[in-house]
Amino acid sequence: MGETIFSKIIRKEIPAAVVYETDSVLAFKDINPQAPVHILIIPKKIIDKIHNFDTRSDSELLAELFQAAQQIAEEHGLSKNGYRLVINNGNDGGQEVEHLHLHLLGGRKMNWPPG
């Protein structure tokens, strides 16, 4: 597990449109949005994949990520019509940046199944 582009965003070494920040969580607009609202929610702590998430010691962090999703969805007017939360995990999951992140997508009707 190592640093990615997201570490630079966390340290504000490269710019990002930050919409939410706490001591442990950062959320910012995706640079290549796939929906009218497309926000990435990340733990500041480096965790590359779900399998390296410690379900005991990181349980509070999981709650904080969901808390961020709730607040961001509310602030973007998505609570009523809904939205999608996605974690691309590993190669088959389509993960490109190896720093665990939630995609919050909304503002249009989503398709299922995903491609």
Q: Which amino acid is at 69?
A: A
Considering only residues 5, 18, 46, 85, which one is a binding residue for ligand 5GP as defined by CB under 6 A?
5
Residue 42: both structure tokens together: 């990340």
Alpha carbons 87 and 95: distance in angstroms, whole number: 8
43 binds ligand 5GP (CB under 6 A): no
94 binds ligand 5GP (CB under 6 A): yes
Instruction: Output the smallest distance, CB 28 to ligand 5GP, in A.
Output: 5
Instruction: Output the smallest distance, CB 80 to ligand 5GP, in A.
Output: 25
Buried b (16+ CB within 10 A) or exposed e, 41-74: bbbbebbbeeeebeeeebeebeebbeebbeebbe
Considering only residues 2, 23, 32, 92, which one is a binding residue for ligand 5GP as defined by CB under 6 A?
32
**Which is nearest to 31 in space by CA: 65, 54, 49, 8?**
8
13 binds ligand 5GP (CB under 6 A): no
Residues that bind ligand 5GP (CB under 6 A): 5, 16, 28-32, 40, 88, 94-97
